[in-house]
Amino acid sequence: MRAKLSEKQQKALNLFDSKLNGKFITHLNSCVHCGLCGESCHYYLATKDERFMPARKVDLVGSIYRRYHTFAGRFLPKLVGARDLNDETIEEMVDVLFGACTMCGRCSVHCSIGVDVPFLVRTARSMLVEMDLVPKGLQSTVDAAINTGNNMGIPRDEFVDTLEWLEEDLQMEVEDDNAEIPRDQKGKKIMYTLNPREPKFFPLSISAMAKIYYAAKESWTISTNTYDVTNYSYYSGDNEGARELTDRLCKEMKHLGTETLVLAECGHGSRAIRWEGPNWIEKKYPFTVITVIEVIADYIRSGRIKLDPSKNTQLITLHDPCNLVRAGGIVEEQRFILKNAVENFIEMTPNRENNYCCGGGGGQLAMSEYNERRVDSGRIKADQIRATGAKIVATPCHNCIDQLMGLNIDYKLGVEINTIGEIVANALVLD
């Protein structure tokens, strides 16, 4: 006999049912409980907590499917490990699927069968959205983006002020009074987005990109209304919110009449806007979307900017953001850039699509209730960094930067964390 569902639980189950297409059914039915995936997950590796094994996460979502959609699960639930969507199951879902998964996808690449674990986890998170069970910090980040236009709630005036003094700094640095950080200019080729953490905490990364655009003589602008590259609704599982934020960017692109949307160094933002966004709004973008990493690589290839690697002499390693690399296909461009911009480069092991998550993805940085786990899970990345002997860690993702800066302190790594843009700007040769 199945337990009676509350109104919210029924709503969550209805959402689950509405997602049952071929892909979802496939991944719900594929796991064979071989348990070999544990060692692919930084949470399990760092904590050895069995609940954090990817197979357990898959089983948690799969058990609901089996209970409500399979013959054996309906009539012999214990035989196949089918579970009611009750308070106990839901509590475990919140704790494990929000609190112990960054949806990095490393387990999927190495899964014996090929189960798309992040896809299942995100769908389950969407169920939790229906029950208003998104952890507070993550929900407030989503709310800030929806209500204020950026996830840090930066007032527009404050943002404009920041851009103005950064522009003055740029003019002094390049000794050109005409150098600018264009704001809300129509008809430019590029609309450049930012992670709101940049104007708030890391304005130098904006300066770095402005310098690169200046050197490349790029036609670009920043919207002071809609500039946020992040989309935390992707992490929370809130499809409505995700659609709304995507739609705003599309409208701003149209308003400014720009032809290319350039995504700042942000892993999940790149994934959300480039790969998921068109599916949330259910149509193709009428403009090109490209990451700033591809833009910089193109400037170097085409000779639009010149770099002097001798300006970056320290040993530099690269952290691959999961959403940009494994789930975004930007694998070699950042390596091409670094090999042109620095003298000494060393890879982490493993790297590229096999990289370990730093632990900052999945909305973890916004969920303070899981801080301890997040830092613990970052030990794998800290060990990787230490093994390289590098003095600088470059990474094209602001979430990763935040997490790596924390790991740098917690694990006493003694490194500097930089964006790719900052390293390139430092190596720029201005005519």
Partner 1 sequence: MFTIYQWIFLGGFAICLISCLIQFFKVILSGLPKDFSHPLGKTLPAIFYSFTGAMSPTKKETAYLHLPTYMAGIIFHVGTFLGFFYLIILFFNIQLPEWLDYSSAIFLIISAICGLSILIKRMLVSKLRNLSNPDDYISNILVTGFHILLAATILNNQILAVLLIYSTLLFLYLPIGKLRHTIYFFTSRIHLGFFYGWRGVWPIRKHNI
Instruction: Report the site for partner 1 in 184-223 (rule: CB under 8 A).
Output: none
Going residue by residue from 137 to 176, which x/- string records binding to partner 1, judged by CB under 8 A?
----------------------------------------
Asked if 25 interacts with partner 1 (CB under 8 A), we say yes
For the four alpha carbons of 409, 411, 414 and 417, in that order, the dihedral sign comes to negative
CB of 73 to partner 1, least distance (A): 9
Which of 15, 327, 385, 390 lies at the binding interface for partner 1 (CB under 8 A)? 327
Asked if 37 interacts with partner 1 (CB under 8 A), we say yes
Instruction: Considering the complex, state which of residue 53 and residue 208 has its C-beta at the smaller distance from partner 1.
Output: 53
170 burial type by CB count under 10 A (0-12 exposed, 13-18 middle, 19+ buried)? buried
Which of 17, 39, 164, 176 lies at the binding interface for partner 1 (CB under 8 A)? 39
Asked if 346 interacts with partner 1 (CB under 8 A), we say no
The secondary structure of 238-254 as a DSSP string is: -HHHHHHHHHHHHHHHH
Instruction: Considering the complex, state which of residue 13 and residue 72 has its C-beta at the smaller distance from partner 1.
Output: 72
Asked if 26 interacts with partner 1 (CB under 8 A), we say yes
372 burial type by CB count under 10 A (0-12 exposed, 13-18 middle, 19+ buried)? exposed
CA distances to 120, 182, 262, 294, 395 from 219, in Å? 41, 9, 12, 16, 25
**AA letter at 423:** I
In angstroms, rounded to a whole number, what is the distance separating the alpha carbons of residues 72 and 68?
Answer: 10
CB of 2 to partner 1, least distance (A): 18
Asked if 429 interacts with partner 1 (CB under 8 A), we say no
The structure tokens listed for 137 are 């910090």
Which of 21, 178, 302, 310 lies at the binding interface for partner 1 (CB under 8 A)? 21
Instruction: Report the site for partner 1 in 372-411 (rule: CB under 8 A).
Output: none
For the four alpha carbons of 249, 254, 257 and 261, in that order, the dihedral sign comes to positive
Asked if 40 interacts with partner 1 (CB under 8 A), we say yes
Distance, CA of 179 to chain centre = 31
180 burial type by CB count under 10 A (0-12 exposed, 13-18 middle, 19+ buried)? middle
Q: Which stretch binds partner 1 (CB under 8 A): 2-10, 87-95, 124-132, 269-277?
A: 269-277
Q: Which stretch binds partner 1 (CB under 8 A): 10-18, 106-114, 138-146, 160-168?
A: 106-114
Which of 244, 298, 353, 376 lies at the binding interface for partner 1 (CB under 8 A)? 353
Asked if 18 interacts with partner 1 (CB under 8 A), we say no
CB of 152 to partner 1, least distance (A): 27
CB of 333 to partner 1, least distance (A): 8
Query: 198-229: b or e for each residue (b if 16 or more CB lie within 10 Å)?
Result: bbbebbbbbbbbbbbbbbbebebbbbebbbbb
Residue 183 is classified by DSSP as B
In angstroms, rounded to a whole number, what is the distance separating the alpha carbons of residues 373 and 390?
Answer: 26
Q: Pick from 348, 338, 346: which is nearest to 309 by CA? A: 338
Asked if 243 interacts with partner 1 (CB under 8 A), we say no
Going residue by residue from 61 to 90, which x/- string records binding to partner 1, judged by CB under 8 A?
---------xxx-----xxxx---------
Q: How many residues bind partner 1 (CB under 8 A)?
A: 65
- 3-class DSSP assignment, residue 152: coil
Instruction: Considering the complex, state which of residue 21 and residue 310 has its C-beta at the smaller distance from partner 1.
Output: 21
State the residues that interact with partner 1 by CB under 8 A: 21-23, 25-27, 29-40, 50, 53, 55-56, 59, 70-72, 78-81, 108-116, 274-279, 281-285, 288-289, 325-329, 331-332, 335-336, 339, 352-354
